Amino acid sequence: MEIEEVYSRQQIDEAEGRQINELIARSQEPIPDPDDWLDEELKRNVLLTSVDAVLDWARRTSLWPVFCFPACCAFEFMTTAASRFDISRFGMEIVRASPRQADLMITAGTLTWKMAPQVKRIYDQMAEPKWVIAMGACAISGGIFRSSYSVVPGYNRIIPVDVYLPGCPPRPEALLYAIRMIHKKIASRSLIQEGK
Amino acid sequence: MTVALSGSKIAKQLGKKFPGAVIKAGADSLLLKGESLLAVAEYLKTTPDLDFDFLNYITAVDYYDYFEVVYQFTSLKHNHGLVLKVRCYDRENPTLPSVVSLWRGADLQEREIYDLLGISFEGHPNLRRIVLWEGFDGHPLRKDFL
pLDDT at B108 over 90: yes
Q: Which residue of A has its CA nearest to B135?
A: A17
Residue A32: pLDDT over 60: yes
Q: Which of A49-58, A66-75, A123-132 is least confident?
A: A49-58
Question: What's the confidence (pLDDT) of residue B83?
Answer: 92
Quote the pLDDT of residue A128: 83
CATH class of A37-193: alpha beta
Does the beta carbon of B129 lie under 8 angstroms from any beta carbon of chain A? yes
Confirm if B30 and B44 have CB atoms less than 8 A apart.
Answer: no
For B133, the closest of A9, A10, A17 (CB atoms) is A17
Phi, psi of B105 (to 5 degrees): -65, -15
d(CA B22, CA B8): 10
pLDDT band at A40 (very low <50, low <70, confident <90, very high): low
Pairing of the two strands B95-97 and B22-25? unpaired
Find the mean pLDDT for residues B7-21: 84
Mention every residue, 6+ apart, whose C-beta is less than 8 A from residue A77: A69, A106, A108, A135, A175
Q: Above 70 in pLDDT, residue A5?
A: no
With beta carbons less than 8 A apart as the criterion, state whether B20 and B33 touch.
yes
What are B24-71's pLDDT values in tens digits?
888 888 898 888 889 999 998 998 888 899 999 999 999 989 999 999
Q: Tell me which DSSP letter residue B83 carries.
A: E
For residue B117, give how far its alpha carbon lies from the nearest alpha carbon of chain A (Å).
14
Residue B60: its pLDDT value, please?
94
Q: How confident is the model at residue B113 (pLDDT cuts 50, 70, 90)?
A: very high
pTM of the model: 0.80
Separation of alpha carbons A105 and A111, rounded Å: 14
Nearest residue to B40 via CA among B88, B107, B85, B95: B85
CA-closest candidate to residue A152, choices A101, A196, A114, A100 = A114
Beta carbons of A16 and B136 less than 8 Å apart:
no
Question: Is pLDDT above 60 for A194?
Answer: no
pLDDT value at residue B114: 93
How many whole angstroms from its chain centre is CA B78?
A: 21
Residues whose CB falls within 8 Å of the CB of residue A78, separated by 6 or more in sequence, listed in order: none
Asked if residue A196 has pLDDT above 50, the reply is: no
Give yes or no for A7 touching B (CB within 8 A): no
Q: Is A3 exposed, middle or buried (0-12, 13-18, 19+ CB in 10 A)?
A: exposed
Q: Could you tell me what percentage of chain B is helix, strand and coil, using 3-state DSSP and rounding each to the nearest 5? A: 25, 30, 45
Kindly provide the ipTM of the predicted complex, given to two decimals: 0.74
Q: Is residue A106 within 8 Å of A133, Cβ to Cβ? A: yes
- Domains, chain B, with CATH or none: 3-94 (3.30.460.80)
Q: Helices marked H in chain B — which ranges? A: 7-17, 37-46, 106-117
pLDDT digits (tens, 9 = 90+) for A112-162: 999 999 999 999 999 888 999 999 999 999 889 998 899 999 999 999 999
A 10 A CB-CB count for B20 gives 8
Cβ–Cβ of A9/B135 closer than 8 Å?
Answer: no
The answer for B 5-44 residues in CB contact with A (under 8 A) is none
pLDDT, residue B91, reads 87
Environment class of residue B67 by beta-carbon count within 10 Å: exposed (0-12), middle (13-18) or buried (19+)?
A: buried
Band of residue B96 on the pLDDT scale cut at 50, 70, 90? very high
Mean pLDDT of the A172-181 span: 92
Report yes or no: B125 at the A interface, CB cutoff 8 Å: no
pLDDT given for residue A137 in this prediction: 93
Subunit contact B135:A21, Cβ cutoff 8 A: yes
| Arithmetic mean of pLDDT, A4-24 | 84
- Of the ranges A50-54, A96-100, A173-177, B35-39, the best mean pLDDT one: A173-177
Q: Which of A8, A20, A151 to mutate to test the interface with B (most CBs of B within 10 A)?
A: A20
Question: In this prediction, what percent of chain B has a pLDDT beyond 70?
Answer: 100
State percent of chain A over pLDDT 70. Answer: 87
Count H helices, E strands: chain B?
3, 8
Q: What is the pLDDT of residue A62?
A: 87
Contact call for A17 and B128, based on CB within 8 A: no
Model pLDDT, residue B54: 92
Helix/strand/coil for B46: helix
